[in-house]
Structure 1
Amino acid sequence: MSASTVDRRPGGPFLVGRGLLKNYGPYQALAGVDLAIHTGEVMAIVGPSGSGKTTLLHVLAGILRPDGGEVLLDGHRIDQLGEAKRSALRRHEFGFVFQQGMLVGELTAEENTALPLLLAGANRKQALAGARDWLARLGLGGLEKRLPGELSGGQAQRVAIARALAHSPKVIFADEPTGALDTRTGEETTQALFAAAAATQAAVVIVTHDRELAAKAGRIVEIRDGLITGGVMVG
């Protein structure tokens, strides 16, 4: 599947931010952002360092609470939830891929992948079986027992993608997912992420400095000084 043809929007917006404000002392990271994410779409959020793009991702994902505005998931506000409920929401509804993968060094590839399922209360045997299935789908069959230190950078990021998808999230948030990879490995990792998400109809929201990566998304949103300054559909 081509990474340039992954914008699938069968339904309306299911994750919406309205009038989002976020301050860090005197610094205003978000200055009134409105953004809607549709089922199954791939969106890239771009902008210079300090523009507010990572803060926006964290607010949409319920990691941070906004100082103003609201975040709605399937029409229900999540920004007003307490930390315990937002944590549960992240475990069940969202998946995360970070620049460095953030795998647990003492756990094997299959154990890292199974973590979201285990945290959600799944049977260990079933969780590991599901993890192995995702690893195989991402081209990592035979590497299930390897520790993160025994994997290449691209392999480790594929494990992180498998972990993000293992519990069938509605949206995957990816913060500079190829930032620590060389160009070829980054391209392969991007293809793997988009294809795997397409298989489950999960939306993908990517924060990136990489314009080439952004161009492979279905929609590019640009943020500067805490405000959305532009957006374009790709392809």
Structure 2
Amino acid sequence: MPTQTTDPRGPLATATRPALSGRGLVKRYGTQHALAGVDIDIQPGEAVAIVGPSGSGKTSLLHVLAGILPVDSGAVLLGGTRIDQLGETKRSELRRTEFGFVFQSGFLVAELTAEENAALPLLLGGRSRSDALSAAREWLGRLGLSGKEKRRPGELSGGEAQRVAIARALAHRPSVIFADEPTGALDSRTGRATMAALLAAAGESGAAVVLVTHDRDLAASVPRTVTIRDGRIDAGATA
């Protein structure tokens, strides 16, 4: 079981406990600090864009919060419970149940249909094929892909394929969705529409969204922006 941790902000913090937190996060590659003591809170249902120059640590921060990378020191808390101390098997389980992911390239399985791609987390979690596909179709419909459930990724436009990836991220109703440059491979118009679809769908499900992007215009569409420089949160640039 994850280790329960007292919230450092005091007893009143429980009423407004973040969905996801990082405390004093440090991540090093050799002698270089990717993260140099980062504190961050993501509230339930909140959308946050993490921005910064190349090499600033924004992708490392996303991967640490998602349990993909272990921290060298500090704590990652999901709903107030430590997850950084879990082994890889437990972290992998969390990524299937509590987290959803949308990446720049989508990472769809070319041989599977849209509905099969969207259903993958549910199938891996042990849901029956009929239930998993039913949930996948529901999210594909919400994302404007009704009638395209049987198409394979090669038969979809870039924006449509990325919406399938969004449906896959949402189908198991995660607490937090991590989006790493989700519109980086799309033209600006399609990218804006895809981001709007992601935020709307996440809002419907109640999931928080952690977005990493270098695109300031895209970040401006998200309610809160956090800027990271040299592995630290730039408090003066955080809105």
Same fold (TM over 0.5): yes
Counterpart of 1:75 (choices 76, 80, 83) is 80
| Secondary structure of 1:13's aligned partner | coil
1:117 matched to 2:122? The reply is yes
Alignment of 1:158-197 (within 5 A): 158-197=163-202
Query: What's the CA shift string for 1:53-73, capped at 9, x where partnerless?
Result: 000000000001100001011
Aligned to 1:101: 106
Show the counterpart of 2:5: none
Q: Is structure 2 residue 148 aligned with structure 1 residue 143?
A: yes
Q: Following the alignment from structure 2 to structure 1, what is the Cα–Cα distance between the partners of residues 226 and 203?
A: 20
The one-letter code sitting in structure 1 at the alignment partner of 2:157 is: S
Structure with the higher strand share, 1 or 2: 1
Q: Give the deviation of 1:12 after TM superposition.
A: 3.4
Cα contact 2:33–2:231 (8 A) shared by 1: yes
| 1:222 aligns to 2:227 (yes or no) | yes
Two-structure CA RMSD over aligned residues (Å): 1.1
Supply the distance in 2 between the matched residues of 1:93 and 1:119 (Cα, whole angstroms): 13
TM-score, normalised on structure 1?
0.93
Q: Secondary structure at the match of 1:81?
A: coil
Paired residue for 2:27? 22
Unpaired runs of 5+ residues, structure 2, are 1-14
Q: Tell me the secondary structure at the aligned position of residue 140 of structure 1.
A: coil
Paired residues of 2:119 and 2:132 also in contact (CA < 8 A): yes
Deviant stretches of 4+, over 3 Å? none
Identity of aligned residues (%): 70
Mind listing any 5+ residue stretches in structure 1 that lack a counterpart? 1-9
Query: How many residues are matched?
Result: 224
Matched, 1:202 2:199: no
Q: What code does the residue aligned with 1:199 have?
A: E
Which of 43, 61, 74 matches 2:66?
61
Distance 1:187 1:137 in 2: 17
The separation in 1 between residues aligned to 2:23 and 2:105, in whole angstroms, is: 30
**How big is the shift at 1:11?**
4.3
* Matches of 2:98 and 2:104, distance apart in 1: 21
2:22 aligned counterpart, secondary structure: strand
2:27–2:33 Cα contact (<8 Å) kept: yes
